[in-house]
A and B are shown apart, each in its own frame.
Chain A
Amino acid sequence: MSTEESRKTIIRIRNLSFKYKNAEKNVLDTINFDVKEGEFVLITGPSGSGKSTLARILTGLIPNSYPGDLSGEISIMSFDPRRNKIYEIAQNVGLVLQNPENQLFALTVEDDIAFGPENLGLERKEIKERVEWSLSVVDLQKERHKAPFELSGGLQQKVAIAAVLAMKPKILILDEPTSYLDTLSAIKFAYFLNELKRELNLTIILIEQKIDLFFKFLSRIVVMNEGKILIDDEPDVVMNFCIRNKIPINIPLQLLIIRTLGETYDGKKLYDYQVDDYKMLFEKIINDR
């Protein structure tokens, strides 16, 4: 395992600004953002802050499908969306959108997974291999002949991921994937995503509001607001910053409890505490009042 320092930087963005055509002001404003190979980065921030727009740039949808003024230095595994087409980038960076319903086209799971490789004009044998591989990675072999939209929300989300993985990307971006899942499915999804990352050596960029579900897996958190990056650092540093500056995002309650008691806390140990430990801490807060 290479250390954080020696890992390769695979996304490098400098002074990126973007304005949608016909819009009045920039939705992204002089953004600097790096991602190293193998990182698990969570991007959060109020809605409208530009998170999805950033994902569109990282996959080439901007400016290829959404015109506008795009400036700054961009290198996504040495691609630049202003020079490269979406399908070129798509074989390196995959994007899973929020609503699975709109990204599943075929009537069976396996055909849906094959759709991307078919578009790439791959050999039949290669497509078959990719379909089998994707199905096994997300553990959907049993559902392969079912219609994707008859599956539960959690499984649909997995099909959408399998379909993107069949393009063999090295970076996987997910845009608010848990917003329509129930609590249990969302918790399972967090573990699934972390396993997937480890198994495939993926780099993951996750746009998400439910920070606490993913907190312990993250290398970094990026907080955006009104088109700017407010802070981009290790999870505990970011959370402390957000608490201090009253940034309106979902701070895990565990952190709030510890902060209230004024204890310095060690981010890595946060999840070593059990619920009962927090119960004791919380009761201390109640008694202090």
Chain B
Amino acid sequence: MAMNFVKAYQFSRKETTIHALDPRVKLFVSVGVAIIGIITLDPIEIAFLTVIQIIILALSKSMKLWLRSLKALTFFILLIAVSQYLTTQSLIQAIIFSARFILITSATSWFFYTTSPEDLGRALEQMGVPSDFSLAFTLSMRFIPVIANEFQDVYDAQRVRGLNLEKGNLLERTKAFLPILIPLFVEVIRRTYEISDALELRGYGFKEKRSHWKELKLTTNDYIFLAFFLLTIAIIVLHRLYYPLV
């Protein structure tokens, strides 16, 4: 279960044009689409943008991953639809809201599928984000799968000792999590100490500004990608001009 959510946003190394794009460009486009997704309520715009996201997902050979994560998120999508329907009594509204959710998750998922945490850290750092922050980010991305494995190990160890998470009332079930959460917590703390030792031993914190041995540079593909994005925006703006009110 925990693994499902981790997988929904996990980077996978592949050789595609999208993977090779500059992480700053990808960040810009993906956040851009997500923002439009948050603002708009127009079904045509949502459909149009979603189709474009699907094209990007296909180009990055991540369709399978995306479909799997949608499956993992089915529950949330239904939840959104039902709650919208209950508050507005409108079926169309319910559909629009869940479609919007799908749009936003797809725009963010291709970004995470195709951008290594490290590239993202590098992008943040070269965009002026302080290195402590971008390192914290890179490290948490790097260690989330490790912690997820650790979770699985502790869970397995306690299952062997007869732990059952599906038994009893809500309070009992919550309490049943303690034999997993306490060891996990202890282990995470222990690891944190070791990681921070290792960082310091490699001279981290020596200079306010670290140097970068690989500088990010925009390539032709990046410009083409950006141009397509701007074109998409232009189409949406035009659409807005013709059909102003939604």
Per DSSP, chain A at the interface is helix
B198 touches A103 (CB 8 A): yes
B213 touches A119 (CB 8 A): no
Binds A, one of B86-94, B98-106, B199-207, B217-225: B199-207
Binds A, one of B44-52, B75-83, B138-146: B138-146
- We find that the number of chain A residues with CB closer than 8 angstroms to chain B is 40
Q: How far is the CA of A104 from the CA of B203 in the complex (A)?
A: 14
Residues of B in contact with A, size category: 20 to 34
B206 touches A119 (CB 8 A): yes
Residue numbers in A under 8 Å from B117 (CB-CB): 107
B207 touches A102 (CB 8 A): no
Nearest chain B residue, comparing its CB with the CB of A94: B201
A86 touches B198 (CB 8 A): no
A127 touches B213 (CB 8 A): yes
Nearest chain A residue, comparing its CB with the CB of B11: A107
Residue numbers in A under 8 Å from B146 (CB-CB): 101
Residue numbers in A under 8 Å from B198 (CB-CB): 97, 102-103, 105
Q: How far is the CA of A56 from the CA of B191 in the complex (A)?
A: 16
Residue numbers in B under 8 Å from A90 (CB-CB): 200-203
| A-B contact number at CB 8 A | 94
A144 within 8 A of B: no
A167 touches B142 (CB 8 A): no
Nearest chain B residue, comparing its CB with the CB of A115: B202
B206 touches A120 (CB 8 A): yes
A121 touches B139 (CB 8 A): no
B201 touches A107 (CB 8 A): no
B156 within 8 A of A: no
Residue numbers in A under 8 Å from B211 (CB-CB): 117-118, 120-124, 127
| Min distance, Cβ B189 to any Cβ of chain A, angstroms | 13
A59 touches B210 (CB 8 A): no
B201 touches A86 (CB 8 A): yes
B203 touches A119 (CB 8 A): yes
Residue numbers in A under 8 Å from B139 (CB-CB): 105
Q: How far is the CA of A83 from the CA of B200 in the complex (A)?
A: 16
A131 within 8 A of B: yes
Q: How far is the CA of A124 from the CA of B210 in the complex (A)?
A: 11
A102 touches B213 (CB 8 A): no
Residue numbers in B under 8 Å from A103 (CB-CB): 194-195, 198, 201
Q: How far is the CA of A87 from the CA of B199 in the complex (A)?
A: 10
B172 within 8 A of A: no
Taking CB atoms and an 8 Å cut-off, the chain B residues in 129-188 that contact chain A are 138-139, 142, 146
Q: How far is the CA of A120 from the CA of B208 in the complex (A)?
A: 10
Q: How far is the CA of A148 from the CA of B106 in the complex (A)?
A: 29
- Given A94-B201, A105-B139, A118-B212, A87-B206 contact (CB < 8 Å): yes
B17 within 8 A of A: no
A30 within 8 A of B: no
- 18 interchain pairs, CB-CB under 8 A: A87-B204, A90-B201, A90-B203, A102-B194, A102-B198, A103-B194, A103-B198, A107-B142, A111-B118, A114-B213, A114-B214, A118-B211, A118-B212, A118-B213, A119-B205, A119-B207, A121-B206, A122-B211
A-B pairs, top 6 by smallest CB distance, nearest first, are: A103-B198, A116-B202, A119-B203, A121-B207, A87-B206, A127-B213
User: Which A residues lie at the B interface, using CB under 8 A?
Assistant: 56, 59, 61, 64-65, 85-87, 90-91, 94-95, 97, 99, 101-103, 105-108, 111, 114-124, 127-128, 131, 147, 163-164, 167
User: Which B residues lie at the A interface, using CB under 8 A?
Assistant: 13, 116-118, 138-139, 142, 146, 191, 194-207, 209-215
